[in-house]
A and B are shown apart, each in its own frame.
Chain A
Amino acid sequence: MSDPVLRNCRVLIAEDEFLLADELQADLEEAGAIVIGPVSALADAIALIEVEQHIDAAILDANLGGEMVFPAADLLIARGVTIVFTTGYDASIIPSRFGTVTRCEKPTNIKSIIPLIERSMQG
Chain B
Amino acid sequence: MVGQNEFARRQRVLSEFGGFVLDHDDLDEILDEACRLIAEALDSDLAAILEIDRRTNTGLVRAGVGWNPGIVGRKCVSLAERSSEAFAVGRTEPVITNDIAHEERFEFSSFLRDHGVIAVVNVPILLPGRDPYGVLQVDAREPRHFNQEDIEFLRTYAMVLGPVIDRLKTAVALRETDERLRLVVENARAYVLMVSDADDRIIDWLGGSQEILGWSSSEVLGKRTDIIFTDEDRTAGVPAQELSGARENGSAASRRSHQRKDGTRVFLDGQTIALKDPAGKLRGYLKIGQDVTERLRAETALRESEERLRHFGEASRDILWMRDVETLQWQYLTPAFETIYGLNRDQAVSGDNFRNWLDLILPEDRERAIDASNRVRGGEHVAFDYRIRRPVDGSIRWLRDTAFPIINADGEVAFIAGVGHDLTELRETERRLQVLMEGIPQLVWRAVGEGDWTWSGPQWTEHTGLTPEESRGLGWLDALHPDDRDAARRAWKEAPQKARLDLEARICHAATHEWHWFQTRALPVRDEFGSITEWLGTSTDIHDIRELQERQQVLVAELQHRTRNLMAVVRSLSDKTARASADLPDFRTRFRDRLEALSRVQGLLSRLNDHDRVTFDELVMAELEALDGTADRVSLIGPKGVRLRSSTVQTLAMALHELATNAVKYGALGQPQARLKIAWALQPEGKVGAPWLHVDWRESNVAMPAGLHPGGGQGRDLIERALPYQLKAKTTFELGPDGVHCTVSLPVSASSSLREPANV
Contacts and interface: CB of A to CB of B under 8 A. Distances in A.
A89 B563 CA distance: 10
A19 B563 contact: no
A63 interface: yes
Interface string A1-32: 00000000000000011111111000000000
Contacts of A38: 725
A103 B744 CA distance: 36
B557 A17 contact: no
B283 interface: no
Interface stretch (B113-121, B261-269, B570-578): B570-578
B234 interface: no
Contacts of A20: 565, 568-569, 572
A106 B722 contact: no
Contact of A66 (B565, B568, B647, B721): B647
Contacts of A106: 564-565, 567-568
Contacts of B575: 23
A71 interface: no
A87 B565 CA distance: 8
A93 interface: yes
B543 interface: no
A88 B569 contact: no
Nearest to B647: A65
B725 A21 contact: yes
B726 A40 contact: yes
A17 B561 contact: no
A118 interface: no
A99 interface: no
A93 B557 contact: yes
A123 interface: no
A81 B569 CA distance: 27
A107 B647 contact: no
A105 B647 contact: no
A106 B562 CA distance: 10
B109 interface: no
A61 to B, nearest CB: 9
A93 B567 CA distance: 19
B560 interface: yes
Contacts of A63: 561
B560 A89 contact: yes
A89 B562 CA distance: 9
Nearest to A23: B572
B564 A105 contact: yes
B651 interface: yes
A107 B561 contact: no
B452 to A, nearest CB: 41
B61 to A, nearest CB: 136
Contacts of B568: 17, 19-20, 106-108
Contact of B725 (A18, A89, A92, A105): A18
A19 B647 contact: no
Contacts of B565: 17, 20, 88, 106
A21 B562 CA distance: 16
Nearest to B722: A18
B726 A16 contact: yes
A72 to B, nearest CB: 17
A113 B245 CA distance: 131
Nearest to A18: B722
Interface string A64-99: 011000000000000000000001111011000000
B572 A88 contact: no
A18 B557 contact: no
Nearest to B717: A22
A38 to B, nearest CB: 8
A20 B562 CA distance: 13
B568 to A, nearest CB: 4
Interface of B: 557, 560-565, 567-569, 571-573, 575-576, 647, 651, 718, 721-722, 725-726
Given A19-B568, A20-B565, A23-B572, 15 more contacts: A17-B568, A17-B726, A18-B722, A19-B569, A19-B572, A20-B572, A38-B725, A40-B725, A40-B726, A65-B647, A87-B561, A87-B564, A88-B564, A89-B557, A107-B568
Interface of A: 16-23, 38, 40, 63, 65-66, 87-90, 92-93, 105-108
28 contacts: A18-B651, A18-B718, A18-B721, A18-B725, A19-B568, A19-B569, A19-B572, A19-B573, A19-B722, A20-B568, A20-B569, A20-B572, A22-B572, A23-B572, A23-B575, A87-B561, A88-B561, A88-B563, A89-B557, A89-B560, A89-B561, A90-B560, A106-B565, A106-B567, A106-B568, A107-B564, A107-B567, A107-B568
7 A-B pairs with the lowest CB-CB distances in the bound complex, closest first: A88-B564, A88-B561, A18-B722, A107-B568, A106-B564, A19-B572, A18-B726
